[in-house]
Amino acid sequence: MTTFPRVLSIASLLVAWLILAWIFPPTIVPGPIPVFKAMGQNIMSGQAFYHLYKTLLRVGLGLVLTMVLGVAVGTIMGLSHKGELFLDSWVMVGLTVPAIVYSIVCLLWFGLNEAAAIIAIGTAAFPAVSISIWQGIKAMDMQLVSMGQAFHLSKTAIIRKIIFPQLLPHILASMRYALGICWKICTTVELIGMSSGVGFQLNYWFGLFSMAQVFAWTLLFLLVMFAIEYLIFKPVEQRLTRWRSGVPALQWAQ
Amino acid sequence: MALRSSCTAVGAITLTNVTKEFSLPNGQRLRVLENVSFEAPDRSFTSILGPSGCGKSTILNLIAHLDNHSSGTISVGGDRVGFVFQQPRLLNWRTVADNVTLPLEGRDLESKALRALAEKYLELVGLGGYQSYYPLQLSGGMQQRVAIARALAIDPDVLLMDEPFSGLDEITARKLRQQLTRIWQETGKTILFVTHNISEAVLLSQQILIVSAKPATIFKRMSVNLPYPREYGDLKLFELETQLTRDFLGMEEETTRSTKGT
């Protein structure tokens, strides 16, 4: 039942594309055929894999940095009142500064290299994660913690079995959100300062006024993101949150 | 001043002149418990009956080491204390069986032994066959029974229950009270049961301690020498309930008068 609306949504996107391509000339909105042709060429030449790999590597490492910084700062803010007062304004500044500023500053400070790209991604995306973790800690059910204490659970057991599982949904949700931000910042950095990656390709083909290639690269990345969402995030989330569903679990601890 | 010991007879709880004060932010000290003394014999069922917010739960928290008392002596005949809270306080992401064995996981037990224990205690509370369910798939009454199974699974020396049925509808609560009497008789645990429900206290207990409010102190001690199982609507229970209600109202009046006097 859930597949039908999804199929319908993708089909309607394709129809909208076809209509737009029919109205506008191919230099503005190219149709699916030239776009898929361009994508095919990129894949056959190996270009697609090389640049996609570069971008995914930067996004992946940037995401790791984002999550480490975000979870650390969010945890400090959630646990310590002084920490909250101290870091609150930092996070607000971090959220307000446009992502492109991080990109420019990092490229100027660290040079046109991988480290600059990863640092730019990490610093731009982590405030959103911090806020989510901070809220998660504030929303934690402390009565469960006192239950653990009443039953003489050790400190590590309380953290591992009672606190962490309550934070996990927040970590997962913020990670998903952060992935989207990381990808956007990554393309910006690649566009202004890198000689590889999807952002670089977009800039290159923009210079040549090839709308079909711009569309092809965007579409390729979209497909990869969809794959990550449906092959990694959704199944993991479903597994971790199956206790919320009304269906009895499979046989216990076989 | 504050002493703890565990050298008395196993299962018994003895409090002698226990006082508890909290420090308020303005530097004043708020006394919540004053000279609380009582004894719960081994294998007995004792209720602490008092108005809401009078500090009855504090007594349980002190016995369970969740808080420290200011002066007096608390002695519990054993280290293992089972606790059932007003809310089930289950870990919703764990199955029912994994909730029951949560307090046992620190011990060196095989998973097979854990599973057997979970099965045994779920059977005892009438939830055999629900091992693989998640708490949110169960009703409130069933969740509270899981919480009771969890408290029993550690084979406690004493079982502390903090208004465990006050969050349930009356029909479910009645069923659970009957079950609790049976479980108590089958396991022979010493139970200390906090409640503000007079008929509940009369139905369940051998000994009732009436606690006055602010600061909490034992106002009256009463024995209920009626055989189990007790039935709802029993005239003798009703008589006791009426008498207790009168005592309760008398106590409220007295405390109001004394507060006005000072």
Tens place of pLDDT per residue across chain A (254 aa): 577 888 898 899 889 999 999 999 888 888 888 899 999 999 999 888 999 999 999 999 999 999 999 999 999 998 888 888 898 888 898 889 988 899 999 999 998 889 999 999 999 999 999 999 999 999 899 999 999 999 989 999 999 999 999 998 889 889 988 998 999 999 999 999 888 999 999 999 999 988 899 999 999 988 988 898 889 888 888 888 778 765 444 433 33
Asked if A244's CB is within 8 angstroms of B66's CB, the reply is no
Residue type for position B159? L
Asked if B94's CB is within 8 angstroms of A243's CB, the reply is yes
For the residues B68-72, what does the mean pLDDT come to?
A: 87
- Please provide the distance, in angstroms rounded to a whole number, between the alpha carbons at the two ends of chain B: 28
Residue B190: φ, ψ to 5°:
-85, 120
Alpha-carbon span B25 to A115, nearest angstrom? 50
Could you read off the pLDDT of A156-191 as tens digits, one per residue?
Answer: 999 999 999 999 888 988 998 899 899 999 999 999
- Nearest Cα to Cα of residue B125 among B104, B144, B139: B144
Handedness of CA B166, B170, B176, B182 (dihedral sign): positive
**ipTM of predicted complex:** 0.85
Asked if A252's CB is within 8 angstroms of B66's CB, the reply is no
pTM of the predicted structure, to 2 decimals: 0.80
**Most A CBs within 10 Å, among B79, B91, B127, B161, to test the A interface:** B91
- Taking the CA of residue B259 and the nearest CA in chain A, the distance in Å comes to 33
For the residues B16-24, what does the mean pLDDT come to?
A: 88
| Bridge partner residues of B83 (DSSP) | B160
* Alpha helices in chain B, H assignment, sequence order: 56-63, 96-100, 111-124, 140-153, 170-187, 198-204, 235-261
Alpha-carbon span B110 to B114, nearest angstrom? 6
DSSP A10-34: HHHHHHHHHHHHHHS-TTTS--HHH
Q: Find the CB nearest A248 among B106, B133, B154.
A: B133
Between strands B71-76 and B13-23, the pairing is antiparallel
Beta-carbon pairs below 8 A across chains A and B: 66
